[in-house]
């Protein structure tokens, strides 16, 4: 039962991350504390939940590959989240992202 719950939670997180990336939900851009979390950390953690749910059911080689991919995704998400490069994110987000000269205010 826990495998199903973990996998469902991971799929739900990936669905929310997709809504954020595709622009279906843009209110997250107003959260100053977590500027990139919905498009970096959320998909990686969603993958982690799926790996925790599905991983134990896989053969050892496939499980190891899934865990390695999940680990790399978590590391990459952490680096991009903390770094916040200007090239990362969907086009609609990059074009409306506040620039340093705007002192954190969105463009008028």
b/e 12-47 (16+ beta carbons within 10 angstroms → b): ebbebbeebbeeeeeebbeeeeebbbbbbbbbbbbb
Q: Please indicate, yes or no, if residue 69 is contained in any of the structural domains.
A: yes
Q: Is residue 45 part of a domain?
A: yes
**Count of structural domains, the chain:** 1
pLDDT in tens, the chain (108 residues): 899 999 999 999 999 999 999 989 888 887 766 778 899 999 999 999 999 999 999 999 999 999 999 999 999 999 998 888 888 889 988 887 655 544 455 555
Q: Which residues contact 55 (CB under 8 A, 6 or more apart)?
A: 63, 66, 67
Provide the whole-model pTM: 0.82
Tell me which residue range forms the domain holding 48: 37-89
In a domain, 102, yes or no: no
In a domain, residue 47? The reply is yes
């Amino acid at each position: 039962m826990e495998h199903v719950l973990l996998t469902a939670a991971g799929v739900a997180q990936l669905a929310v991350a997709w809504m954020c990336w595709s622009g279906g939900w843009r209110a997250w851009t107003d959260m100053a504390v977590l500027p990139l979390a919905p498009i970096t950390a959320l998909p990686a953690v969603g993958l982690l939940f799926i790996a925790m749910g599905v991983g134990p059911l896989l053969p050892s080689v496939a499980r190891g590959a899934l865990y390695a991919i999940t680990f790399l995704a978590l590391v990459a998400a952490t680096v991009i989240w903390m770094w916040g490069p200007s090239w990362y994110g969907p086009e609609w987000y990059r074009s409306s992202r506040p620039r340093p000269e705007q002192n954190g205010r969105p463009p008028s």
